[in-house]
């Protein structure tokens, strides 16, 4: 293993975050360098007790190392005519101490960026360390810093996700998007964003939606309400449709809905392109689908409006729809 890999393994080890495979790899290194591991553990323990939180602790450590080296020279009567072997030993010891101090920094100061993403054709559920749950729609991701999250509960969203936030009155939960942010205490809500717009729909509880750079432009939303940020405006309305979060709930409700709108919602829900011509979108559908596959939904639509269609792994192509058989 290269030194960088060893440093990362040791950092995870002393932070209690290693996996079984990591410990197996690390044990090989510990068996080979038992004295170095013992020295490092002693140093980590001492820093743990001191709980360093500023760069001055690192500076103090360097000064201590430098003093120990100088004292060793004085007590051993080191001269300029040291054999080359002892010079190499000295260099190796200094390099080890440098690596040790770097590792202390990794363990106590390093805050890795965690990225959770979903595949382009499937959703993904992520459990956060505070018990909150995030369900990512296809092709979406969240980012957060592991240690900072414990104190701030802040995440960045790219795409669409449904959040179920664990209540914590003393520590609000915040979602940052490209155009705005959502701040909550404990609730469930859906956020869909792209480069041009951001939509927030509240399922339960209450959220505060703010435009980035426009702190005065904020709206408070309760269950069943919706807000959209687009074209420099923040608009709140009561137009809430369960179909907007059907990709998460599995429930689709259509009331005299044009088939063109139906197909668009099915695309978003099932992550499959539906190809049809505009003159096929005139039929209107009234029905409810609950936790059904796309094939099952298409078969039921076919019972109302006979269709000729072809499906493959990524799309559905509709060749003909007969709107005359509506029941």
Q: Which CATH class is domain 244-325?
A: alpha beta
For 33, other C-beta atoms within 10 Å of its C-beta total: 14
Q: How many whole angstroms from its chain centre is CA 240?
A: 26
Does residue 222 surpass a pLDDT of 50? Answer: yes
Which of 22-26, 48-52, 266-270 has the highest average model confidence (pLDDT)?
A: 266-270
Three-class SS of residue 81? coil
| Percent helix, strand and coil across the chain, each to the nearest 5 | 40, 30, 25
The pLDDT confidence band at residue 23, using thresholds 50, 70 and 90, is: confident
Domain ranges of the chain: 3-109, 113-240, 244-325
Q: Is 261 exposed, middle or buried (0-12, 13-18, 19+ CB in 10 A)?
A: middle
**Distance between CA 150 and CA 129 in Å, rounded?**
7
β-pair partners for 68: none
Note the pLDDT tens digit of each residue in 100-112: 555 555 555 667 8
**Distance between CA 191 and CA 136 in Å, rounded?**
10
Compare 1 and 133 and report the one with higher pLDDT: 133
Burial letters 227-236, b for 16+ CB under 10 A, else e? bbbeeeebee
Q: Which CATH class is domain 113-240?
A: mainly beta
Radius of gyration of the chain (CA): 29
0.75 exceeded by the pTM? no
Q: Is 219 exposed, middle or buried (0-12, 13-18, 19+ CB in 10 A)?
A: middle
**Distance between CA 60 and CA 79 in Å, rounded?**
27
The pLDDT confidence band at residue 172, using thresholds 50, 70 and 90, is: very high
In this chain, the answer to whether the domains covering 113-240 and 244-325 adopt an identical fold is no
Name the residue with tokens 């990524």: 314
**Distance between CA 279 and CA 198 in Å, rounded?**
31
Note the pLDDT tens digit of each residue in 232-244: 899 998 766 788 8
Note the pLDDT tens digit of each residue in 192-217: 998 889 999 999 999 999 998 777 78
Does residue 271 surpass a pLDDT of 70? Answer: yes
Q: Report the DSSP pairing between strands 154-158 and 173-176.
A: parallel
């Amino acid at each position: 293993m290269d030194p960088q890999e060893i440093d990362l393994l040791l950092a995870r080890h002393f932070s209690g975050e290693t996996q079984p495979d990591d410990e197996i790899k690390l044990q090989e290194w510990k068996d080979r360098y038992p004295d170095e591991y013992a020295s490092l553990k002693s140093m980590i323990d001492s820093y743990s007790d001191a709980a360093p939180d500023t760069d001055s602790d690192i500076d103090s450590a360097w000064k201590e190392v430098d003093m120990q080296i100088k004292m060793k020279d004085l007590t051993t009567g080191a001269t300029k005519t040291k054999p080359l072997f002892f010079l190499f030993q000295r260099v190796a010891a200094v390099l080890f101490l440098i690596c040790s101090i770097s590792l202390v920094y990794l363990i106590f100061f390093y805050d890795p960026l965690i990225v959770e993403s979903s595949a382009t054709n499937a959703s993904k559920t992520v459990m956060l360390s505070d018990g909150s749950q995030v369900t990512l729609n296809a092709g979406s991701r969240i980012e957060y810093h592991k240690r900072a999250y414990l104190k701030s509960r802040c995440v960045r969203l790219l795409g669409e996700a449904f959040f179920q936030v664990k209540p914590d009155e003393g520590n609000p939960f915040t979602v940052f998007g490209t155009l705005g942010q959502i701040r909550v205490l404990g609730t469930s809500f859906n956020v869909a964003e792209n480069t041009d717009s951001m939509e927030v729909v509240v399922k339960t509880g209450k959220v505060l939606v703010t435009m980035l750079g426009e702190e005065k432009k904020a709206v408070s939303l309760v269950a069943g309400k919706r807000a959209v940020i687009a074209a420099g405006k923040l608009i709140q309305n009561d137009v809430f449709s369960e179909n907007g979060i059907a990709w998460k709930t599995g429930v689709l409700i259509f009331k005299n809905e044009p088939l063109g709108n139906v197909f668009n919602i099915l695309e978003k829900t099932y992550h499959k392109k539906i190809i049809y011509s505009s003159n096929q979108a005139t039929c209107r559908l009234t029905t409810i689908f609950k936790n059904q596959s796309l094939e099952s939904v298409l078969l039921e639509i076919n019972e109302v409006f006979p269709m000729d269609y072809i499906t493959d792994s990524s799309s559905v192509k509709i060749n003909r729809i007969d709107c005359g058989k509506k029941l």
